Every structure is written in structure tokens, then in C-alpha cells.
Structure 1
Amino acid sequence: MELFAVEGIPEVRPGDDVGELIAERADLREGDVVCVSHSIVSKAEGRQADLSEFDPGPQAERIAERIGDLAGEAKDPRFAQAVVEESRELLTEEPLMLAVTRFGHISVNAGIDRSNVPDSDLLLLPEDPTASAERIHETLGVPVIVTDTSGRPFRQGQRGVAIGWAGMPAARDWRGERDRDGRELGVTVEAVVDELAAAANLLTGEGDDGLPVTVVRGFEFGDYEPHDGLFRSENADYVRDALREWEYDRDRLQGGDAGDADESDDERDDGEDR
């Protein structure tokens, strides 16, 4: 298997056809998988916004004040309002806004970026990334994964994840297969689209490389049962249940590992290359 970045993608504007931009610059083959950073999809779909568009309500004012108090600097309640409006639910409000997006992805600050957005203050996630992937897939004729970068529980740093996909299943279901000792696997479901998104992120980068599209060539799904349930269902998500009951203990946790503080910053700049 090999991966390569698609060169020459221009700055994307609202109304641009992302599929056509890729098709003009990538010599695709049957079996390729195209990973597309959400940023250019969001820009094409007009998902830029200015802070002036958000009128903060009491919840946003409270969140900004409390996070600002923790950070030791003022936080803009308009940004907090943007996160609230882009969320179906906030699992935590401090020390960071951990949001459930309207399409089921869970991310700090509802995935809103403030980096590599030349004409606006904010870049929001696509409203329906899987529908976006479907449109690009129809143009290219190969599987498409729309990616973002996000943090991980219990680990430092970010990695690429899939937030939408089309033309292939999300996962390989290994349940019923056997390991080398003959034991039947009972729980293993491999999140293939996340693995490909993470691999693509090694090429798209996090800064100013200008490489938002990666082609994966030679990947084989294999003879396994497909599985499309990437986002864990609420009734089986015990961590989500625990977070709903959790309260931030400022006395115990304030002044902890400084590396943990970056995700509470309202300037989410973990974004893929634009």
C-alpha cells in the first residue's frame, strides 16, 4: 500500500466543486481511496463564519468566564456560543467544551477551527460530512473519506479521524474470526476509515503545507464482514454516561499537567493542512 498527497489544490472558495478540483489533479485508479481534509469541504460548502454572527447567551457567557478564569486570560463568549450552536450536547463545559456534533462526532469545541481561515474568523465542520463524501465519491468514482484531526482520551496529541465516508464501509468486523490459537474473536471491530485517515494525516500535516487531499493506493479491505457503525451508540457509551455525571474539580486538577491545557483553548488550531 502507498499514499501520496495531491499537489496543486488551490485555496477553496464557497461553491467550488471539491470532487472536480481533485479529479483535475489526481490520476486515480480503481481501488484508490481518497482522503479529503474537512477544511476544504467546509470552505466549499460555505461553512466559514465570523464571531460577530454569534450573540452569546447566558450559557456561553458562563462557559467563557469559567474557562477564562482557568486560563488566566479573557475568553470570547461569542466563540463559546458558536460551539453551543454547532453542538447537539456539551458533555463538559470546563476545563474544555467537549461537544457532540449534530452528526454524532465528539470533539473539543465541536471541531471548530481558527487556523488557515483567511477570509473569516472560524471554520465549522460540514453539516453532514457523509453526504459531502457521497457527493465527492459520485464525481471521482472511488471511495472517499472526509477527515479531521482530534485529540484522544488518555493520550497527548492529535491524529486524523474519519468524520464522513462513502463508497466503502467504515470498519471490518472480525467477530466470528479466529486468532492464531483458534480462539473465536468476540468483540473486535477494526475502524478502517479512521486508520486510513490517520495515515493520510501524516502527509496532509498540521501547518501550511497546502496538501489537503491524500490518495491511498493498494489498500485491500479483505474478505471480512463490513461494519458501518463508527460512532458508538449512546445506550452503549459508558464513557459518555460518566462524563454527563462528572464535575470538574478545580482544587484537585488546577495546576496539573500543562500539556493538558491546550485542548481547553478556544483557538482550536489542531486542524489539518488547508
Structure 2
Amino acid sequence: MEVFVVPDLPEVRPGHDLAALIRERVDLRPDDVVCVASTVVSKAEGRSADLSAFPAGPRAREVAATLTEHAGEETDPRFVQAVLEESVEVLIQTPFLLTETRFGHVGVNAGIDRSNAPDGDLLLLPERPSESAERIRERLPADRVLVTDTCGRPFREGQRGVAIGWAGLAPGRDWRGETDRDGRELGVAVENVADELAAAANLLAGEGDGGTPVVVVRGFEWGDHGESDAHFREIETDVVRRAIRAWSNE
């Protein structure tokens, strides 16, 4: 398997055709997986915003005051308002805001970025990343597209690449029903291929000012395995979220 960046991409602005920018710079194959950072998807879709667009309500001011107290530095209540408006649930509100976005992703501050936002104070995540991935895929020779982001993970330090949108492939490779080397049947093994590919792409895309937000994975083979559409865990099976809810309500 080969992983390489798409070189020489310009600064993406609202209305830019990401698929055309990619096609102009790399000869894609049908089985390539094109991993596109959510930052450039958001820029192309005009998801930049100024803090002034989010006048703070009572809840945002209350949460901002609590965050300021815990963090020891001022938290802008307008930023908190933006996070609340981009979220369907607040799981944790101190010492940081952990929320669920409208499309099911759980992350800090609803994934809102305050860096790499040349057209405003904030860069919001794409509204529907899988639909964004599909629009890009329709205009590329490659059959598979991921929209990626970075976020932390419980119990581990550091950020890693994750998939927040996908088109042309299932997010999960389902090993259930297959057997291990001793002939035991696998009952719970669903591999999150979308996140694994996103993490591989993030090794090259990086976190800073490298200007390489699109990475191609070439030669990835699915193999003779089933598919799983599961990606964001349902609340019924999410014991961690249920525990957080119980803790937050104490």
C-alpha cells in the first residue's frame, strides 16, 4: 500500500471546486482512497464564521464563566455559543466542552477550529461530511473518498486522524463469522477501516502549516470480508456516553 500527498494545492476559498483542484495535480486510479481534510472541505463550502455571528445567550455566558474559572484564562462566550449551536448534545462542559455534532461525531468544541481560518474567526466542520465526500467522489476518477479530521481519544495522549465522512466504501470491515488461526469463530470483530485510513493519511497531512490537506491511499485492498455501516456508536451500546450522562447529572 502506498500513501502520498497531493502537492501544490492553493489556499482553498469558498466556492472552490476541490475535485477539480485534486484532478489537476494527481492522476488518480479507480481504487484509490482520497482523504480530504475537513478544513478544506469547510473552506470550500463557506463554513467560516465570525464570532459576531454568535451573540451569546444566557447558557453560553454561564458555561464560559465556568470554563474561565477552571482554565484560568478568558473564554469568549460567543465561542461557546457557536459550539452550542453546532451541537445536539453537550456531554461535558468543564474543564472543556465535549459535544456531539448534528451528524454524530463526538469531539471537543464541536470540532470548531480557531486556526487555519483566513476568512473568519472560526472554521466550522462541514454540515454533512458524508454528503460532502459523495460530491467530491462524483467528480473524481477515484471511487472512494474520506473526509478526515483530528481529535483526541479517551485514555490516550495526543491527536489522531479520524474519518467524519465517507463515500464509496463502508466505514467498517466486518470479520464476524470468520475464524481465527485456531478455528474459533469471531463474534465482535468489526475493524474501523475508515478511521485507520484517515490516521494513515494524517501521518503525511500533519497538523501545522504544511499545506497538504489531501492524501491518496493507493493499493488498499478490502479483501474477502463483509461490510459494516456502523461508525458512530449508537447510544444504546455506548456505555461510556451513558456513564458520562449519569456523572454529569449527579
TM-score grouping bracket, smaller chain normalisation = over 0.9
User: Normalising by the residue count of structure 2, what TM-score does the alignment of the two structures yield?
Assistant: 0.98
Partner of 1:157: 158
SS in 2 for 1:114: coil
CA distance, structure 2, for counterparts of residue 181 and residue 95 of structure 1: 47
User: Normalising by the residue count of structure 1, what TM-score does the alignment of the two structures yield?
Assistant: 0.89
CA contact (8 A) 1:95 1:248 kept: no
SS in 1 for 2:138: helix
Partner of 1:179: 180
Aligned pair count reads 249
CA distance, structure 2, for counterparts of residue 161 and residue 237 of structure 1: 18
CA deviation after TM superposition for structure 1 residue 247, in Å: 3.6
SS in 1 for 2:52: helix
Summarize the alignment of residues 210-249 of structure 1 with structure 2, pairs less than 5 Å apart: 210-247=211-248
CA distance, structure 2, for counterparts of residue 160 and residue 166 of structure 1: 17
Amino acid aligned to 1:96: F
CA distance, structure 2, for counterparts of residue 24 and residue 213 of structure 1: 13
Summarize the alignment of residues 192-203 of structure 1 with structure 2, pairs less than 5 Å apart: 192-203=193-204
CA distance, structure 2, for counterparts of residue 8 and residue 44 of structure 1: 17
CA deviation after TM superposition for structure 1 residue 19, in Å: 0.9
SS in 2 for 1:43: helix
Partner of 2:135: 135
Could you list the runs of 5+ residues in structure 1 that have no partner in the other structure?
Answer: 250-274
CA contact (8 A) 1:176 1:184 kept: yes
SS in 2 for 1:246: helix
Amino acid aligned to 2:225: Y
SS in 1 for 2:68: helix
Summarize the alignment of residues 65-144 of structure 1 with structure 2, pairs less than 5 Å apart: 65-142=65-142, 143-144=144-145
Partner of 1:256: none
CA distance, structure 2, for counterparts of residue 72 and residue 114 of structure 1: 19
Per-residue Cα deviation, 1:119-156 (whole angstroms, up to 9, x for no partner): 21000000000000000000013200000000000111
Partner of 2:40: 40
Per-residue Cα deviation, 1:80-120 (whole angstroms, up to 9, x for no partner): 00000000110111111111000000000000001111221
Identity value in percent: 64
Summarize the alignment of residues 26-65 of structure 1 with structure 2, pairs less than 5 Å apart: 26-65=26-65
CA deviation after TM superposition for structure 1 residue 238, in Å: 1.2
Per-residue Cα deviation, 1:173-229 (whole angstroms, up to 9, x for no partner): 010010111111100100001000000000000000000000001100111001111
CA contact (8 A) 1:98 1:108 kept: yes
Partner of 2:18: 18
CA distance, structure 2, for counterparts of residue 156 and residue 215 of structure 1: 26
